Amino acid sequence: MLYEFLTTIGQWFIPIFILTIFLHALYKKVPIFDTFVEGAAEGFKVILKILPYVVGIYVAVGLFRGSGALNLLVAPLTPLLALLGIPADVVPLMVIRLLSGPAAMGLTADLISQHGPDSFIGRMVSVLDSSTDTVIYMIAIYFASANVKNARYSLTVGIIGALSGYVASIYICNVIY
C-alpha cells in the first residue's frame, strides 16, 4: 500500500510542481512567456560560454582512454589494489569519473557487459559511478559560467570528496558483496 502511494506521488510530483509555479506566476502577474524567453536567452549565452570547456574535457578524456595511459597507470598498482580489495578493472572508472560523467557511464556499461551486472565488479562499478560526481568537469563548467577566476581549494576539496566516496563505496561493496 505504501509503495503504491509513493509511486503515485512520484508520478504526479513534477506535473503538480510545474502547475504550482505556473499558477503562482499568474497570481503574481508575472509575464510567463516573456520571462521564459529571457531565461532561455540567458541559458543559450551560458551554453556558448562553457562549450569550449566541455569540448576540451571530452577531447582530454578521449585521448586519455584511447592512448592506453589508463592501463599504464593501473599496471604498477595491481598488487596494492588486490590487497585493498579493489579490482584493477575498476581503477580506470575512478580516474575517468573525475573528468566526465558520460565517459564514466560508458566505461561502467563496458565493465558491466564484460563481467555481468551481478558480478562483484558489476556491482562495484555501479556503486562507484553513483557515489561521486565529475569534479573537474563541474569545476570547469560551473566556474566558467559564473566567471570564477580563483578556484583556490575547490579542486582539492572536490578530489578529497571523490576519494571519500570511492573509499566508502569500496568498503561497502567488500562488506555487502
Note down pLDDT in tens along the chain; length 177 residues: 788 888 898 899 999 999 999 999 999 999 989 999 999 999 888 888 878 877 877 787 778 778 888 778 788 888 898 888 899 889 888 888 888 888 888 889 989 999 999 999 999 999 998 888 888 878 877 887 787 878 788 889 999 999 999 999 999 999 998
**In the Cβ-directed half-sphere of 138, how many Cα atoms lie within 13 Å?**
13
CA nearest to 138, candidates 97, 77, 84: 97
What is the C-alpha separation between 115 and 31, in angstroms, rounded? 54
41 within a domain of the structure (yes/no): no
12 within a domain of the structure (yes/no): no
What is the C-alpha separation between 13 and 157, in angstroms, rounded? 34
The residues near 79 (Cβ < 8 Å, ≥ 6 apart) are none
Total structural domains within the chain: 1
21 within a domain of the structure (yes/no): no
101 within a domain of the structure (yes/no): yes
With 0.85 as the threshold, say if the pTM is over it: no
Cα-Cα-Cα-Cα dihedral sign, residues 161, 177, 101, 15: negative
Q: Do 134 and 89 touch, CB atoms closer than 8 A?
A: no
> In this structure, which amino acid lies at residue 101?
G
> In this structure, which amino acid lies at residue 21?
I
**Owning domain of residue 72:** 50-176
What is the C-alpha separation between 15 and 42, in angstroms, rounded? 24
Q: How far is CA 147 from the centre of its chain?
A: 22
